[in-house]
């Protein structure tokens, strides 16, 4: 019997794994075993069809995926039978092409590769040379635009000017690219674009060079951009043995160049394509799948499939209405503790998924207060964010003038002319006279190594600290005072300057500060706190900023917090999708831009991470920009098959309010025509 028949493949998987020649599109639904199919197919070609490993090229998006694929393939094969097999990322493969052929493009073979930091430095220097105001046109925005252009195969020149719609951006791009080439350097995006260029300038030579690869396999095809698509077309110029695996329903990276039309149009691009749908799901219960299917069915730009399982229906999808974000966090934590107790589950079995990282703050605070371990994936912990940490360090210094870690962090943040040399003089004087740094600054008139201008700047800083330290200690509420500190210190002005006219970037920084204000407000409203003062607040958050490392076992057993974009490819027995509200998911920007279908795919991805139980939560009121606003449940909840869901009252003291919310939603559903 063929080894492939001993792999336990279902009928569709078997067809995909044993397809011999010609184009093959495997539409692999979430949890349908796509990696098993693609690795078995490679092994089958080598072991049973006697295709040389040298003839097979498999492309992925991450090094991790490439390693896993290679390990699994070789695990299926006798030793040395897969010799010559090429498995790697798109970028690694392009480096391989360029190392031997980049001379055709006027580069020298021993080129260097710029990382993102190097790219930013060069773009900044070029913009300075061109006398461009970096505050009006931020270099990071320019870098993003150039990356987009390269992924779309737009070269410098008139083409770029038309594509950018901006002569200045096109000029920067032209200078940037000519500088790279002059230094014999390429950046990460060049790897794709220049590889495609090789085929354009030396088609016959390149066709001969890549002719060894007669079988091409591509994972996560829905995530390919235009440059990757064009490269694949070049590689299959003389044959059509291409197998792509992907899921149009999980195409969620349009914002970074992914083009869903690549997978939607695959049959048109490759006539005679055999299409296989992997619809049997090995991850989730029947009710979770039916709920996810009913939502994604509302998209029109899709190939269409219907996930199913031979397993149990399981629990209904549980929808928890809550009154606000605090109630939402309390309700989810209550459920987590109940699951721990009743199901004997570990914290590592649970994940909380958000549309944006701004939603993590109430959970982080509650987890810390209750001693629940957690990990943030795809983002920095709230109290580790630069804006939050900076202002907390102001508060720490005002509470304790000898907190020198806090002092050194914010002494020149924002920039106030107290630079490295001045700080070194303060440190040297403190060491010589056995004084604390802040005491030296208070007595700066006696530091003979400083000039009068420097002493004045230090004095202004110390006056700020002393003035607001007194205000914080006497204020009925700390929030207005903290707002004053942000303004009076020049910090707000610094954020605006750093944003360089980018309103979204400035608002993002402001949102984190608003979340800090909210954190203080909630602390002051906490009736269980004995003393509502600066010291008590800093004591509370010390749980979150403490650098003491946990033991490895404890860190593994932790609740995972992540964005919807970060959760793709992962799975957890218990998943909580938080903030399922209009304006959040789908996001307001997507509603305005008419891209709700990608938001629906994003929600679908989040839902299909759940294996055993799925919770969806929404808040009737949520603080945004420091102010409370009313929220409606997302239209996506309305799209779920009612037979798959159960409305439950959260385990908080506000459950009565939640019953009212359920009734309100039902009225809303009727008004929407649901």
Q: What is the Cα–Cα distance from 564 to 610, expressed in whole angstroms?
A: 12
Closest C-alpha among 233, 195, 516 to residue 382: 516
Q: What is the 3-state secondary structure (H, E, C) of 241-288?
A: CEEEEECHHHCCCHHHCCCCHHHHCHHHHCCCCEEEEECECCCCCHHH
The secondary structure of residue 460, as a DSSP letter, is H
Annotation says 41 is catalytic = no
Task: List residues bridging with 296 in a β-sheet.
Answer: none
Distance of CA 228 to the CA centre of its chain: 21
Task: List residues bridging with 633 in a β-sheet.
Answer: 581
The token duo for 501 is: 């006219």
Taking a C-beta distance cutoff of 8 angstroms, is the pair 322, 658 a contact?
Answer: yes
Annotation says 387 is catalytic = no
Catalytic residue among 250, 285, 510, 608: 250
The strand ranges marked E within 151-222 are 185-187, 215-218
- The Cα-based distances of 534 to 52, 361, 520 in angstroms read 70, 19, 9
HSE value, Cβ hemisphere, 13 Å, CA-based, for 396 = 21
**∠ CA(41), CA(46), CA(48), 5° rounding?**
85
Please list, in sequence order, all residues whose beta carbon lies within 8 angstroms of the beta carbon of residue 1, skipping any fewer than 6 positions away: none
Catalytic residue among 187, 197, 220, 279: 220
Taking a C-beta distance cutoff of 8 angstroms, is the pair 96, 206 a contact?
Answer: no
Catalytic residue among 34, 36, 401, 457: 34
Q: What is the Cα–Cα distance from 606 to 626, expressed in whole angstroms?
A: 28
Please list, in sequence order, all residues whose beta carbon lies within 8 angstroms of the beta carbon of residue 26, skipping any fewer than 6 positions away: 16, 34, 37, 38, 243, 244, 245, 246, 276, 278
Catalytic residue among 609, 622, 623, 654: 609
3-state secondary structure of 621: strand
Distance of CA 173 to the CA centre of its chain: 27
Annotation says 667 is catalytic = no
Q: What is the Cα–Cα distance from 537 to 205, expressed in whole angstroms?
A: 69
Strands 645-647 and 610-619, bridge-based pairing: unpaired
Closest C-alpha among 330, 321, 288 to residue 665: 321
Q: Which helix (H) or strand (E) holds 369?
A: helix 361-370
Annotation says 595 is catalytic = no
Q: What is the Cα–Cα distance from 473 to 506, expressed in whole angstroms?
A: 30
Catalytic residue among 161, 219, 247, 598: 219
Closest C-alpha among 544, 621, 624 to residue 365: 544
Annotation says 421 is catalytic = no
Q: What is the Cα–Cα distance from 449 to 434, expressed in whole angstroms?
A: 17
Taking a C-beta distance cutoff of 8 angstroms, is the pair 595, 556 a contact?
Answer: no
Annotation says 101 is catalytic = no
Taking a C-beta distance cutoff of 8 angstroms, is the pair 105, 85 a contact?
Answer: no
Q: What is the Cα–Cα distance from 414 to 100, expressed in whole angstroms?
A: 49
Q: What is the Cα–Cα distance from 248 to 27, expressed in whole angstroms?
A: 8
Q: What is the Cα–Cα distance from 436 to 449, expressed in whole angstroms?
A: 17
Taking a C-beta distance cutoff of 8 angstroms, is the pair 321, 530 a contact?
Answer: no
Catalytically annotated residues: 34-35, 219-220, 250, 609
């Amino acid at each position: 019997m063929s080894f492939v028949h001993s792999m336990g493949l279902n009928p569709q998987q078997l067809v995909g794994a044993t397809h011999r020649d010609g184009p093959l599109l495997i539409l692999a639904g979430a949890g349908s075993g796509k990696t098993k199919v693609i690795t078995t197919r490679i092994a089958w070609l080598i072991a049973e069809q006697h295709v040389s490993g040298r003839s097979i090229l498999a492309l992925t998006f991450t090094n991790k995926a490439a390693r896993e694929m290679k390990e699994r393939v070789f695990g299926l094969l006798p030793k040395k039978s897969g010799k010559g097999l090429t498995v790697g990322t798109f970028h690694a493969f392009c480096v391989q092409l360029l190392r031997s052929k980049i001379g055709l493009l006027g580069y020298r073979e021993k080129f260097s590769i710029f990382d993102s930091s190097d790219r930013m430095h060069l773009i900044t220097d070029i913009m300075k040379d061109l006398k461009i105001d970096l505050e009006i046109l931020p270099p990071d925005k320019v870098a993003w635009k150039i990356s987009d252009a390269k992924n779309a195969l737009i070269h410098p020149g008139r083409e770029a000017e038309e594509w950018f719609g901006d002569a200045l951006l096109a000029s920067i791009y032209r200078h940037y690219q000519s500088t790279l080439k002059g230094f014999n350097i390429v950046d990460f995006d060049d790897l794709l674009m220049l590889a495609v260029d090789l085929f354009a300038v030396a088609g016959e030579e390149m066709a001969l060079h890549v002719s060894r690869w007669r079988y091409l396999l591509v994972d996560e095809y829905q995530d390919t951009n235009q440059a990757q698509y064009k490269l694949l077309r070049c590689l299959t110029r003389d044959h059509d043995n291409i197998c792509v695996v992907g899921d149009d329903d999980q195409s969620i990276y349009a914002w970074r160049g992914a083009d869903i039309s690549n997978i939607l149009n695959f049959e048109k691009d490759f006539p005679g394509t055999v299409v296989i749908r992997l619809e049997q799901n090995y991850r989730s219960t029947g009710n979770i799948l039916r709920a996810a299917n009913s939502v994604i069915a509302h998209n029109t730009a899709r190939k269409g499939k219907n996930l199913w399982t031979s397993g149990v229906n399981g629990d209904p999808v549980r929808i928890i209405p809550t009154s606000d974000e605090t109630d939402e966090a309390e309700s989810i934590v209550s459920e987590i503790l109940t699951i721990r107790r009743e199901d004997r589950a570990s914290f590592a079995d649970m994940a909380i998924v958000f549309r944006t990282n701004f939603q993590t703050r109430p959970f982080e605070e509650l987890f810390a207060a209750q001693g629940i371990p957690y990990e943030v994936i795809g983002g920095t912990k709230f109290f580790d964010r630069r804006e939050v940490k900076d202002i907390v360090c102001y508060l720490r210094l005002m509470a304790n003038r000898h907190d020198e870690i806090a002092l050194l962090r914010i002494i020149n943040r924002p920039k106030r002319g107290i630079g490295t040399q001045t700080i070194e003089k303060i440190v040297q004087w403190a060491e010589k006279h056995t004084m604390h740094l802040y005491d030296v600054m208070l007595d700066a008139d006696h530091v003979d190594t400083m000039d009068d201008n420097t002493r004045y700047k230090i004095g202004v800083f110390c006056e700020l600290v002393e003035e607001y330290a007194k205000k914080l200690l006497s204020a009925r509420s700390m929030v207005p005072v903290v707002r004053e500190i942000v303004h009076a210190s020049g910090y707000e002005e610094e954020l605006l300057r750093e944003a360089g006219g980018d309103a979204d970037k400035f608002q993002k920084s402001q949102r984190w500060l608003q979340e800090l204000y909210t954190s203080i407000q909630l602390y002051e409203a906490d009736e269980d706190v004995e003393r509502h003062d600066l010291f008590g607040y800093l004591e509370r958050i010390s749980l979150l900023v403490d650098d003491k490392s946990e033991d490895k076992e404890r860190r593994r057993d932790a609740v995972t917090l992540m964005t919807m974009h970060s959760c793709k490819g992962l799975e957890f027995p218990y998943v909580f999708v938080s903030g399922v509200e209009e304006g959040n998911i789908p996001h307001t920007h997507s509603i305005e831009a008419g891209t709700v279908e990608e938001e629906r795919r994003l929600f679908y991805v989040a839902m299909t991470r759940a294996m055993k139980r799925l919770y969806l939560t929404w808040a009737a009121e949520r603080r945004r920009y420091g102010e409370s606003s009313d929220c409606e449940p997302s239209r996506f909840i309305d799209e779920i098959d009612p037979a798959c869901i159960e409305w439950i009252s959260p385990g908080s003291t506000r459950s009565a309010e939640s019953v009212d919310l359920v009734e309100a939603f039902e009225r809303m559903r009727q008004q929407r025509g649901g």
